[in-house]
């Protein structure tokens, strides 16, 4: 039935107070990746879920804050990696979020114990068990989203695990059922995306 555009929102909807952050009052699906950077004493890895391709070209961005080392490492070095973990890598991904201890570098405390390998052109690490790995050159950072910033990069090199490579003759539902994607359900939960459907685009739709 057509929607009456003049009908107000039903009274049983909950109005959220936008004087405060609204995001903890509901769930949203988000990708999850681990951003790798070089630090003076070694390397850093940090999980991020506020991630998006910047259009349909080879650009990607994520939200960070100047309070985190990732922000300053990218500003200083001009490059970073992104590792998209497989669905069974939640524990390893979680460990990259471990807080630093005073007097001990994060590299010595956590990073050196994780299964990682060096990127080829960018001086940073990848998580070994990731299905998608990106080497990125810093494009621009936009500050001013409250205490947060949008960091964007141009993708120099991209590597995808063969089990996750889309090919024309493949049954995509079977592919995702056998090799599900890890999704972050903000805030504080995760899921494995294994059941998907073709989106019903209207006839003649073009992006």
Q: Map 38-77 to HEC letters.
A: EECCEEEEEEECCEEECCCCCEEEEEECCCCHHHHHHHHH
Q: Which run of H or E residues covers position 176?
A: helix 172-178
* Cβ count near 168 (within 10 Å): 4
Which of 106, 120, 123, 118 has its CA nearest to residue 47? 106
Report the pLDDT value the prediction gives residue 95, as an integer from 0 to 100.
80
Most confident of 66-80, 94-108, 165-179: 66-80
Strand partners, 186: 28
Question: Please, which residues have CB within 8 angstroms of residue 72's CB and are 6 or more apart in sequence?
Answer: 66
Report yes or no on whether pTM surpasses 0.85. yes
Question: Please, which residues have CB within 8 angstroms of residue 191's CB and are 6 or more apart in sequence?
Answer: 29, 182, 183, 185
Range from 13-22, 40-49, 74-83 carrying the lowest mean pLDDT: 40-49
CA 19/CA 140 separation, integer angstroms? 29
């Amino acid at each position: 039935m057509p929607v009456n555009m003049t009908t107000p929102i039903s009274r049983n909807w909950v109005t959220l107070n936008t004087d405060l952050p609204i995001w903890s009052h509901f769930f949203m699906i988000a990708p999850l990746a681990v951003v790798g950077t070089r630090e003076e004493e070694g390397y850093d890895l940090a999980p991020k879920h506020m991630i998006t391709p910047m259009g349909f070209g080879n650009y990607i961005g994520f939200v960070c804050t100047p309070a985190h080392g990732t922000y300053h490492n990218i500003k200083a070095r001009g490059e970073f990696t992104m590792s998209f973990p497989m669905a069974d890598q939640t524990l390893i991904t979680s460990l990259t979020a471990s807080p630093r201890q005073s007097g001990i570098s994060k590299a010595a405390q956590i990073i050196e114990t994780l299964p990682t390998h060096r990127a080829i052109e960018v001086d940073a690490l990848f998580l070994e068990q990731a299905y998608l790995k990106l080497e990125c050159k810093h494009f621009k950072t936009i500050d001013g989203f409250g205490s947060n910033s949008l960091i964007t990069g141009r993708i120099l090199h991209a590597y995808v695990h063969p089990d996750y490579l889309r090919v024309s003759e493949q049954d995509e539902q079977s592919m995702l059922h056998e090799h599900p994607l890890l999704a972050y359900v903000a805030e504080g939960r995760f899921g494995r995306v294994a059941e998907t459907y073709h989106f019903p685009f209207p006839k003649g739709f073009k992006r």
